[in-house]
Amino acid sequence: MGKIYDVVIIGSGPAGLTAAIYAKRAELETVVIEKEVASGGQVLNTYEVDNYPGLPGINGYDLGMKFREHADKLGAEFVTDDVVRVEKADGLFTVTCAEESYTTRTVIISTGASHRKLAVPGEEELTGMGVSYCATCDGAFFRNRVTAVTGGGDVAIEDAIFLSRMCKKVYLIHRRDELRGARTLQTQLFSLDNVEVLWDTVVEKINGADQVESITIRNVKTEASGELPVDGVFIAVGIHPQSSAFDGLVEMDHGYIKAGEDCETSVPGIFAAGDVRTKQLRQVSTAVADGANAITSVERYLTVNS
C-alpha cells in the first residue's frame, strides 16, 4: 500500500499552512498538497494586511511567506499537484491527484476560494490586457492612467483606495445605491478627490482590441447606457469556494463545505478549514484559527479511531 499519512492537507493558504504547523508540532505524518506554484492563498495578492494581530500593515505576500517559512522550519512536506478526488475505504482515505495518489487516515480540505467573474463580453479576451482581479498585483501598470473597479464590498473599496494612490482617475462601479463595505473604508473612499462612484450601474461589456480601451455601462434604474473610456478594469465582485473536487463527498451549502468551528464535516475523518467552509467571516485570522482547530479535531479523531 505504501506510506500512510496521519493527515493530508489540501491547499496551503493561511488555514492549510497553520494546519501544517500544528500537525508537525503534534508529530503527525503530514503532507500538504498545493496546486499553485506558491503557498499563501489569496493573501499573496493583498497589498496591506492591517488587521492581523501583532503585524499591522504587513504586506500580504510577506505574511504568506512567513507562514510557509514557519511550516518549512518544522519540516512540513509539500508537494505540487492538483487533487482530483477523495475516496474512503476500509477506514482510510485515498487522495487522488493528477500526478500521484496519497493514502491517509484523515483529510483537511483548505482549498480556499477564487474570484468571481462578471461574465460579460470582452472579460475573458482581455484578461491580462487591462482586465485584472488583483489591484495590488497589477495596479502599478496603470500609474497616471484611468481605471474602473466593479463591486461594492470591502475588497472593491480597498482596491479603489489603493488605485487612487497611483491612478489619475478611478471609477468605482456599483449596481446598488449604497456600498456594503466597512464604514471606515467608505469614509476614506469618499474623501478621495480622484475617485468617482457610479451608483446603480453595471458593466455590460469590456471593449478593446489588444488592450482595454473602454467599458460599456448601464444604469439599472434609468436604463441609460454609454461608453466609459478606461485603461484598466479591476473586478471585485466576490469569491466562490474551490470545492468542486469534493462534490458528493461531503455536505455543502452553495459550494461551501458544511463544517462548524471544530472543522468537522459530514464525513468522519474529513475536515474543512478556511474560506472553503461555511462561516461568518473569511479573514486571515479566522483561517488561522480554523487550521489550529482542524488539527485538534484530527488528533481527537485519530485517538478515538486508533
Given the residues 138, 159, 275, 290, the one annotated as active site: 138
Given the residues 72, 137, 154, 200, the one annotated as active site: 137
Contact assessment for residue 6 and residue 108, using Cβ atoms and an 8 Å cutoff: no
The C-alpha cell that represents 160 in the structure block: 479603489
Among 15, 74, 92, smallest CA distance to 295 is for: 15
Is 134 labeled as catalytic in the residue annotation? yes
Residues in the chain: 306
The CA distance from 72 to 86, in Å, is 25
Given the residues 6, 81, 134, 167, the one annotated as active site: 134
Catalytic residues, which ones?
134, 137-138
